[in-house]
Structure 1
Amino acid sequence: MTRNEFNAFCSGLAHTTHVVQWGNSDVWKVGGKVFAICGWNEDADAFSFKASDLAFEVLREMPGIRPAPYLASRGLKWLQHFEPPGLSNDELKNHIVASYDMVIAGLTKKKRAELGL
């Protein structure tokens, strides 16, 4: 997946916002909370996403995937696809959607209602 494909995919999810921060990273949010990031890898695009406990345990051992720099070191369950083989584009999209869904589930009822979710 390229950075442009990542941004196009994330922009297609309902009620998302995009900012560029943290050293030119594309940061995607829903309800003001981050669910996906492209950046933080000097050699190539890297894609970070929130993961379930099970996904974090299983995927972090796969070649091309690691606990996301900065986020995972703070105890958060975030993974980063940083080099091949990693995840296929479809698998990466599925994990981004799962991250988006987890973030929505963590929003207050009031915030979800404001967003129509």
Structure 2
Amino acid sequence: MSFRARVHAICKPLPGAEKSDPWGGGHDAWKVGGKMFACIGATLPGVSVKTADVETASMLIDAGVGIKAPYFHRSWINLPESTETPELSHRICTSYDIVRAGLTKKAQAALPAREEA
């Protein structure tokens, strides 16, 4: 299974998750409530995800989990394509949960509940 297919398989079942290509050229931007939680670039390998804060991103980068996500805020990291599926799923779902929690209460209420794995 390709890396994009693995990311797609993790993101698609998340409640309210939608994929778009906002910049054209083959980006996969996964959003919930119109806010991005995962992005695969057109040329850079890997997937960029949001972390809880800059400190968490820095710790994950120092631990070798990922690298700084180019073009994103410092609270985002880019996970390499070699990331094992359990870790990839954990990081994507954590990003989704962070972004979803930041939505308005009305937007959150409009989304189905998320089943915890």
Displacement, 1:41? 3.7
Q: Percent identity?
A: 36
CA RMSD of aligned residues (A): 2.0
Q: How many Å separate the matches in 1 of 2:99 and 2:67?
A: 20
**d(CA) in 1 for partners of 2:71 and 2:28?**
15
The residue type equivalent to 1:101 in the other structure is: D
Equivalent residues of 2:3, 2:81 under 8 A apart: no
C-alpha distance in 1 between matches for 2:13 and 2:33 = 15
| Residue matched to 1:8 | 9
Q: Tell me how far apart the structure 2 counterparts of residues 21 and 96 of structure 1 sit (CA, whole Å).
A: 19
Counterpart in the other structure of 1:112 = 108
Q: Which amino acid is the alignment partner of residue 27 of structure 1?
A: A
Q: CA–CA distance in 2 between the matches of 1:48 and 1:56?
A: 11
Flag structure 1 segments of 5+ consecutive residues without an equivalent. Answer: none
| TM-score (normalised: structure 2) | 0.81
Aligned residues between the structures: 110
Does residue 48 (structure 1) correspond to residue 44 (structure 2)? The answer is no
Unaligned 5+ segments in structure 2 are none
Q: Which residue of 2 aligns with 1:80?
A: 78
**Paired residues for 1:57-96 under 5 Å:** 57-63=58-64, 65-72=66-73, 76-82=74-80, 84=82, 87-96=83-92
Given the two structures, how large is their TM-score scaled by the length of structure 1?
0.81
The answer (yes or no) to whether the contact 1:40–1:46 under 8 Å persists in 2 is: no
Q: How far apart are the structure 1 equivalents of 2:100 and 2:65?
A: 27
